[in-house]
Amino acid sequence: DIQLTQSPSFLSASVGDRVTFTCRASQGISSYLTWYQQKPGKAPKVLIYAASTLQSGVPSRFSGSGSGTEFTLTISGLQPEDFATYYCQQLKTYPRTFGQGTRLEIK
Amino acid sequence: QVQLVESGGGVVQPGRSLRLSCAASGFTFSTYAMHWIRQAPGGGLEWVAVIWYDGSQKYYTDSVEGRFTISRDNSKNTLYLQMNSLRAEDTAVYYCAKTETNGWYEDVWGQGTTVTVSS
C-alpha cells in the first residue's frame, strides 16, 4: 500500500500568514493527489485535485504543486475560515490512502 | 439537490455485525462509483472501500478485507456496507461519498453515521 506522510502534523499561524503543508508518498504517484479541508463535525471538502488543479469555487489563495512523491499545499494570506485540518489523498492505486492530516490553528 | 444520507450506525458488541446504508438522491446513482470512508474519534480519515458503478469491481483497505462487504442496489439508489466480526478499532464515523465524474476526488459526502464497537 502507498503511505502518505504529511508534515507538519500541527501548525499555528496568524491571519494573513502564508503557510505551506507537505505530503510525501512512499512511492511515485504521478499527479494522482487530492487535498481536502475538514472542519470539526463536517465532512471533508475538496480544495485541489490532480495535485495542482483548484476545485471550482475554492478561493485562489489556495494552491497545490508537486508530482511523483512530494507535494505541497500553500495558503497565501490566511483567512479566519481557513483554520481547519488538511488531508492529502492518493488516487494512484487501491487501497486509496490519506495522509494523517495537518491541523492548522490560530496563533 | 445532490444528497447522500447514511443510516444504520449504532452501538454493537465486538464480534457482532452491522449493516450501514447510504441513500442517494439528486443524481444518477447508477453511473458513479461510490466509497465508504471512516474517521475514528479524534482521528484522521481512513478510506474503507469502493464499488464500481455497476458493482463489477470492489476494493477494500487491508484492515477490513474479509470482514466488510460493500454492495449497492441501483434500483433503490442505495449503497451498503455489511460489517462483520466488528472490532473496537472499527469505531468511527462512517461516510459514504460519490466519485467525481473523472475519478479525481469524492465530490459529495454524506453527513456520516456513527458506529461504536464496545462491550
Q: What is the pLDDT of residues B60-83, one digit of tens each?
A: 999 999 999 999 999 999 999 999
**Cα A25 to Cα A89: distance, rounded to the nearest angstrom:** 10
Task: Name the residue facing A91 among B60, B61, B103 (closest C-beta).
Answer: B103
Tell me whether residues B45 and A36 touch, CB distance under 8 A: yes
Rounded Cα gap, residues B13 and A50, in angstroms: 41
Q: Give the CA distances from residue B81 to residues A48, A96, B38, B58, B67, in Å, rounded to whole numbers and listed in that order.
A: 28, 17, 12, 12, 10
Q: Do A43 and B45 touch (CB under 8 A)?
A: no
Q: Hey, are the CB atoms on A89 and B105 less than 8 Å from each other?
A: yes
Give A26 to chain B, closest Cα distance, Å. 17
Taking contacts as CB-CB distances below 8 angstroms, the residues of chain B near A38 are: 45
**What distance in Å separates the CA atoms of residue A3 and residue A97, rounded to the nearest whole number?**
7
What are A56-89's pLDDT values in tens digits? 999 999 999 999 999 999 999 999 999 999 999 9
Q: Are A49 and A16 in contact (CB under 8 A)?
A: no
Percent with pLDDT over 90 in chain A: 98
